Every structure is written in C-alpha cells, then in structure tokens.
Amino acid sequence: MKTKLLMMATAFLLSLTSCGVNFGNNISNRISPSDNIVKAKYQFEAFDKIDNHVVGNIRIVQSKGDSRVTLSAPDNYIDLYEFTNEGGELKIRFTRNSVNIDTEDVDIIIYTPTLNVVRNSGASEVRLDSLTTEAFEVYNSGVGSFFLNQLNVKNLDVKCTGVGSIELSGQTEKAEYSCTGVGSINAQDLKAYNVKAQVTGVGSIQCYASEAIEGGVTGVGSLRYAGRPAHRKFNNPKIGSITEL
C-alpha cells in the first residue's frame, strides 16, 4: 500500500514539475516561450515574509542593502508574474487565473536583509544559500522543492503538507518539523539541540537532535533521527517506523 501511494505521488510530482506547467482551474493553451530572455527589476519597501503561488526557479539572498526582486524570463512571460508587498509580505502570483508555460528559463531572485517566513503553494524550486535570523518558518503546501542551506537561527518551524521535499542544513537551538502530506523533510545536516517531529501520512522526516527529541508517526510514514540525544520521547507507531540513524 505504501509503495503504491509513493508511486502515485511521484507521478503527480513529475507531472507538475516538468518544463510545461499548467496552473489554474481551467485548462488553457500553452504559451510558448520566446527566444528573447529579458530581466525585470522590482524595488520594494522592507519585507520579512515571502508567499509564493507561481512556478519557476526561486533563489533567496539575504542582502545587506534594500529589498528587491529580479525576474529573468522569456519576454512574453514577464507580464504573467506579479510581485506585491502586502504588509511586509512579498506576494508572488500570476496575473491570470490559468497559466500554462515552460519554466526552464524562469528565474526569480529575491533580495531581502531580513527573512522570517517562506510559504509555497506553487511548484517552484526554492534555494537559499545562507540565513541568519532569530526565528524562521517554512511552509510547503505545493509541489515545491526547498534547498535551505547554512541556516543560523534560534527557532525553526518547518511544515510540509504537499508533495514536495525540504532539505535543510545549518544549526538551530529548537526545531519543529511536521510532515502531513506525501513529501519529505531532510534536516539531518541541520544540527539542533531540541527537536519535535511529527509525521502523519506517507511522508518522512530525517533530523538531528543533540539534546532531546520528541516525535511520532501516524500512518505509514517514517521518522529517522541522528545526534544520539539523551532525552527521547516517541509514540508507538502501528504501521510507520521510528529509527535512529
């Protein structure tokens, strides 16, 4: 049963993250990309949250200067993307209800001095090379892939309710991981002192805790942990598994 569900989820993921992607309630004709790749620049007041609803390759840079966005895409795609700052939250949306495009040459770079929240409900690949902040929250309800590296945060909260994957590295004092979809959270390279981890469904969590870990598995998912924490508190999964790495 678990293998069948994973195969179905994988097929769904591949169908959405291929070069051609359709977003919206209605099927629309595919918009072929032009050969002319251009850049559009957007300047904003300060924001510390990002909420993504589109497809494309997203890179987040913790900058020392102002808050801005650069979109590189075929020139006939530029007007399909909309960036707005709503109360300190950068919203990334399509300007149409239904969009069917190729995403291979769509690159979005987001520059911000501070960052506390990233949300994704699209099908984007999100990359972050480094981040230093007090608290950081990551929410994935789409089909995205996150690669979040060299995090230096005090409190970390990661939730995956979609089909995508989240990979993290760095260090934190306290981490909370929740996987309720078919996706995965891989935080084995993120050194945390105290961890709470919960898997519900078919997903999986890999993590590191050096002091204490509390967690559970409901469904056919798995929780794997490293760090040899002195304090451990787990439920007794009926189908899923909890193992030490």
> Could you tell me the pLDDT band of residue 12, with boundaries at 50, 70 and 90?
very low
User: Domain boundary residue among 114, 149, 180?
Assistant: 114
Q: Are residues 164 and 232 in the same domain?
A: yes
Using one digit for the tens of pLDDT, what is the confidence trace for 184-211? 999 999 999 999 999 998 999 999 999 9
In a domain, 155, yes or no: yes
C-alpha–C-alpha distance, residues 80 and 99, integer Å: 8
Q: Are residues 105 and 179 in the same domain?
A: no
- For the whole prediction, is pTM greater than 0.85? yes
Tokens of 20: 């051609």
> Could you tell me the pLDDT band of residue 5, with boundaries at 50, 70 and 90?
very low
Using one digit for the tens of pLDDT, what is the confidence trace for 129-174? 999 999 999 999 988 899 999 999 999 999 999 888 999 999 999 9
Return the pLDDT at 65.
87
Q: Are residues 97 and 165 in the same domain?
A: no
User: Domain boundary residue among 114, 144, 172?
Assistant: 114
Q: Are residues 106 and 194 in the same domain?
A: no
- High-pLDDT (> 70) share of the chain, %: 89
User: For the chain, first and last CA: distance in Å?
Assistant: 25
- Residue 172's nearest CA partner among 194, 188, 140, 143 is 194
The mean per-residue pLDDT over the stretch 20-29 comes to: 55
Which has more confidence, 235 or 3? 235
Which has more confidence, 28 or 83? 83
What is the DSSP annotation of 175-187?
EEEEE-SS-EEEE
Tokens of 220: 């056919």
The mean per-residue pLDDT over the stretch 208-227 comes to: 96
In a domain, 121, yes or no: no
Mean pLDDT, the chain, as a whole number? 90
In a domain, 39, yes or no: yes
Q: Are residues 32 and 136 in the same domain?
A: no
The CATH number given to whatever domain includes residue 59 is 2.160.20.120
State the residue range of the domain holding 94.
Answer: 1-114
Amino acid at 11: A
Q: Are residues 137 and 184 in the same domain?
A: yes
In a domain, 120, yes or no: no
User: Domain boundary residue among 55, 87, 114?
Assistant: 114
Number of domains composing the chain:
2
Using one digit for the tens of pLDDT, what is the confidence trace for 42-67? 999 999 999 999 999 999 999 998 99
C-alpha–C-alpha distance, residues 224 and 217, integer Å: 10
In a domain, 211, yes or no: yes
Return the pLDDT at 22.
53
Mind spelling out the 3-state secondary structure of the chain?
CHHHHHHHHHHHHHHHHCCEEEECCCCCCCECCCCCEEEEEEEECCCCEEEECCCCEEEEEECCCCEEEEEEEECCCHHHEEEEECCCEEEEEECCCCEEEECCCCEEEEEECCCCEEEECCCCEEEECCEEEEEEEEEECCCCEEEEEEEEEEEEEEEECCCCEEEEEEEEEEEEEEECCCCEEEEEEEEEEEEEEEEEECCEEEEEEEEEEEEEEEECCEEEEECCCCEEEECCCCCCEEEEC
Return the pLDDT at 11.
44
In a domain, 32, yes or no: yes
- High-pLDDT (> 90) share of the chain, %: 80
Q: Are residues 108 and 134 in the same domain?
A: no
In a domain, 110, yes or no: yes
